[in-house]
Amino acid sequence: MQLKYIDEFRDPRLARGVVGKIRAAWGDRPAMRVMEVCGTHTVSIARAGIRSLLSGVVTLISGPGCPVCVTPDGYIDAAIGLGERPGTILATFGDMLRVPGKRSSLEKERAKGIDARVLYSPLDAVEIAAKNPEKEIVFLGVGFETTAPSIAGAILAAADGRIANFTVLSSIRTIPLAMEVLASDPEVRIEGFLCPAHVSAIIGSDAYLPVAEKFGIPCVVAGFEPLDILYGIYLLLLQKKRGAATVENEYARVATQGGNPKALEVIGKVFRETDTAWRGIGVLPGTGLRIAENYAAFDAERKFGIEIPSAEERTACRCGDVLKGKISPPQCPLFGKACTPEEPYGPCMVSSEGTCAAYFKYGVQ
């Protein structure tokens, strides 16, 4: 099956050409430290073997852009707590099921009898609510700006349909301010950001101007296919070479400078900015989205009077350092030993987009 607008961006002949161009342009300069912020980039880079294709030219550091990975364990515990209430159906994206909380995971609790369902769209959760008025449907709203408008759209649909048994337990995070925190961390030493494709489709490439301007770090928005990533890296190398720090957009077929105004309007209607905890990183001011007062009836935290604790237990798992790009997965003492995709210990090994899972699966050293 041919997939239009995907296959063309995977052409191996063109990829070889771009790699040749990159090597020729960079010469024997020391490798540039580039962070790919988004987990979808991490998987694509690992799958296409881009690290080894560009070894010596760029050192690719994986960032915190896997929503499941940065969701604190307190959130999982809160979700399990809600799932244990009689008559409750938890609805979630698939990756969330196996993430360990402090005491258990949704998958383990499901085996013991809680009703946790994996859905493709938050709209499906609204539909389940409409069909089961005697049940409470709680959607586990995890994601970044890419997913925020879809979750907001589901809340608007529930409000329109006067569906009173649908709520969202929000754990939505936003990217640009988190990038600023990483940019200012001397231990991470980022020299260039490969910016997320679909977060940028929503917020627009101009959202990274403060990162480029305040910290002097080149930023390039790139699509998720191998050619997009290679060309995005090429643009970052060229910026570094000429001493520039601007925002460029390789993914012009989808992302624009200003983003998607309608999606931003929907986010602005349903959510408000808040401080939020990132697993392994801590509380980052202004990087979360909570449900606005007008839609409080759809906020699981308010409706059920719960609060998600942000404190974390300290363990040997070094997920936090992996998420900040301070170490690569094989440097964690648990990697591949006490922590594998079959028996994950930390969230970076659970999610298919987690840095540790990508390293394990594709044998990156």
**Interface with another protein includes 321 (CB under 8 A)?**
no
**Interface with another protein includes 66 (CB under 8 A)?**
yes
**Interface with another protein includes 131 (CB under 8 A)?**
no
List the one residue out of 203, 206, 91 whose CA is nearest residue 151: 91
- Which is nearer to another protein, 101 or 122 (by Cβ)? 122
160 burial (CB, 10 Å; 0-12 / 13-18 / 19+) is exposed
CB of 145 to another protein, least distance (A): 9
What tokens appear for 276 in the block? 């939020």
The CA distance from 133 to 110, in Å, is: 22
Considering only residues 8-47, where is the footprint of another protein by CB under 8 A?
8-9, 11, 13-14, 16-18, 20-21, 24, 38-40
The CA distance from 63 to 307, in Å, is: 27
Chain mean position to CA 268: 20
Using the contact rule CB under 8 A, the part of the chain among 76-84, 99-107, 152-160, 320-328 near another protein is 152-160
The strand pair at 88-92 and 58-65 is best described as unpaired
The CA distance from 260 to 113, in Å, is: 41
- Which is nearer to another protein, 90 or 227 (by Cβ)? 227
The CA distance from 157 to 176, in Å, is: 28
What tokens appear for 222 in the block? 């790139």
Using the contact rule CB under 8 A, the part of the chain among 56-64, 151-159, 297-305, 327-335 near another protein is 151-159
- Which is nearer to another protein, 17 or 282 (by Cβ)? 17
Q: Which of 144, 208, 278, 345 binds another protein (CB under 8 A)?
A: 144
What tokens appear for 92 in the block? 């979630």
Inter-residue contact 71 to 99 (CB < 8 Å):
yes
Using the contact rule CB under 8 A, the part of the chain among 51-59, 62-70, 77-85, 316-324 near another protein is 62-70
**Interface with another protein includes 72 (CB under 8 A)?**
no
The position carrying tokens 């080149």 is 218
**Interface with another protein includes 254 (CB under 8 A)?**
yes
**Interface with another protein includes 360 (CB under 8 A)?**
no
Q: Which of 31, 118, 123, 238 binds another protein (CB under 8 A)?
A: 123
CA-CA-CA-CA dihedral for 216, 222, 224, 230, to nearest 10: -90
Which residues lie near another protein (CB under 8 A)? 1, 3-6, 8-9, 11, 13-14, 16-18, 20-21, 24, 38-40, 65-68, 93, 95, 120-124, 142-144, 146-147, 149-150, 153, 156-157, 196-199, 201-202, 224, 227-228, 231, 234, 250, 252-255, 260-263, 266, 351, 353
